C-alpha cells in the first residue's frame, strides 16, 4: 500500500501548500483519492508536479462535506471518469448531479460499511459534522485515513480497529487538535494509544499537538505535500 499526500497545510517549493487535505492511496487493484483539498488550482498544480495521473483513480472517498476537503472535486471529476464515490449520506444531494455528469457511481454512507476486500468505511460518525474514515487492511496491520477527525480521532481509531479486528498499524491525516488544552491532549493521546501504534498527523492537527503526538508514538512523522511512503 502506497500513499502520497497531494494537498496539505505544509509544502516545499515547487509544491504548493493550502488549507485542506487530499491523499492518493495505491492498492494492488484500486487507486483511491481520499478527499480533494480546497482549491482546484493548487490541487492541479500539485498533481501535475508530482506526476500523478488522475485517470487511473478507481475510487473517490470523501470524509465530510467541508469545503477544504471537496473544493478540488470538480477538477478531479474532469480527469477521473466512471469512478466510485463514497461519501457521507448528508452529501448525497450535492454529489448526485456531479456524479451523474462524470458518469460516476455514488455510494452514500451512513453506518459502517465494507467497501471491498480489506476496505471499510467507519460509517458517518459524529453528532454534528458527519465524517467517515477509511480503513485499509495491510500485511503489517490496518491503517486508518482521516480527513479532519471531527468526531474525535481516538473514536475513529477505536471504530477502525474494531472493524478490522486488529490493532491499527497507523492513523494518517488531519486530527483536528489545534488549540486543544494540554490536559485534554494527554487524555486523547492515551486513548489513541489503545488503538494504534503510530501516527502521521497533518492538516488541522496543530503544531503543538503534532509535536506531542510524535513524541508519544515513536517512528511517526508529520505530513506535508509530497509525503510519499509504502506503508505495507
Is 80 exceeded by the pLDDT of residue 204? yes
pTM above 0.95, yes or no: yes
Q: Determine the pLDDT at residue 224.
A: 97
Report, as an integer, the average pLDDT of 53-69.
97
Mean pLDDT of the chain: 97
Report, as an integer, the average pLDDT of 136-155.
97
Q: What percent of the chain stands above pLDDT 70? A: 100
Confidence band of 184 (pLDDT split at 50, 70, 90): very high
Give CA–CA dist 22/14, Å, rounded: 17
Is 80 exceeded by the pLDDT of residue 232? no
Report, as an integer, the average pLDDT of 40-46.
98
Per-domain residue ranges of the chain: 2-230
Is 90 exceeded by the pLDDT of residue 52? yes
pLDDT by residue (tens digit) across 113-123? 999 999 999 99
Architecture of domain 2-230: 4-Layer Sandwich (3.60)
Exposed/middle/buried for residue 11 (C-beta within 10 Å: 0-12, 13-18, 19+): buried
pLDDT by residue (tens digit) across 83-108? 999 999 999 999 999 999 999 999 99
Q: Are 20 and 49 in contact (CB under 8 A)?
A: no
Q: How many CA atoms lie within 13 A of 101 on its CB side?
A: 12
Give CA–CA dist 89/127, Å, rounded: 14
Q: Determine the pLDDT at residue 14.
A: 97
Q: Determine the pLDDT at residue 231.
A: 85
Q: Report CA-CA distances (Å) from 227 to 2, 42, 129, 175, 220.
A: 11, 16, 28, 17, 13
Report, as an integer, the average pLDDT of 128-156.
97
Give CA–CA dist 11/117, Å, rounded: 33
Q: Determine the pLDDT at residue 81.
A: 85
Amino acid at each position: 500500500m502506497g500513499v502520497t499526500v497531494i494537498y496539505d497545510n505544509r509544502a516545499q517549493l515547487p509544491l504548493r501548500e493550502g488549507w485542506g487535505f487530499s491523499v492518493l492511496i495505491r492498492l494492488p487493484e484500486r487507486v483511491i483519492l481520499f478527499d480533494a483539498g480546497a482549491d482546484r488550482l493548487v490541487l492541479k498544480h500539485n498533481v501535475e508536479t508530482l506526476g500523478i495521473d488522475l485517470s487511473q483513480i478507481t475510487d473517490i472517498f470523501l470524509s465530510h462535506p467541508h469545503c477544504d476537503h471537496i473544493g478540488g472535486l470538480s477538477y478531479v471529476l474532469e480527469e477521473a471518469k466512471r469512478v466510485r464515490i463514497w461519501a457521507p449520506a448528508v452529501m448525497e444531494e450535492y454529489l448526485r448531479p456531479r456524479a451523474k455528469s462524470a458518469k460516476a457511481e455514488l455510494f452514500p454512507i451512513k453506518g459502517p460499511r465494507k467497501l471491498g476486500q480489506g476496505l471499510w468505511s467507519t460509517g458517518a460518525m459524529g453528532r454534528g459534522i458527519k465524517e467517515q474514515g477509511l480503513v485499509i487492511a495491510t500485511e503489517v496491520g490496518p491503517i486508518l485515513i482521516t480527513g479532519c477527525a471531527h468526531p474525535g480521532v481516538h473514536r475513529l481509531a477505536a471504530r477502525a480497529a474494531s472493524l478490522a479486528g486488529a490493532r491499527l498499524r497507523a492513523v494518517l491525516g488531519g486530527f483536528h487538535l489545534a488549540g486543544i488544552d494540554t490536559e485534554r491532549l494527554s487524555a486523547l493521546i492515551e486513548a489513541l494509544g489503545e488503538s494504534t501504534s503510530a501516527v502521521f498527523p497533518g492538516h488541522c492537527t496543530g503544531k503543538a499537538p503534532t509535536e506531542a503526538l510524535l513524541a508519544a508514538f515513536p517512528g511517526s512523522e508529520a505530513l506535508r505535500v509530497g509525503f510519499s511512503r509504502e506503508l505495507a
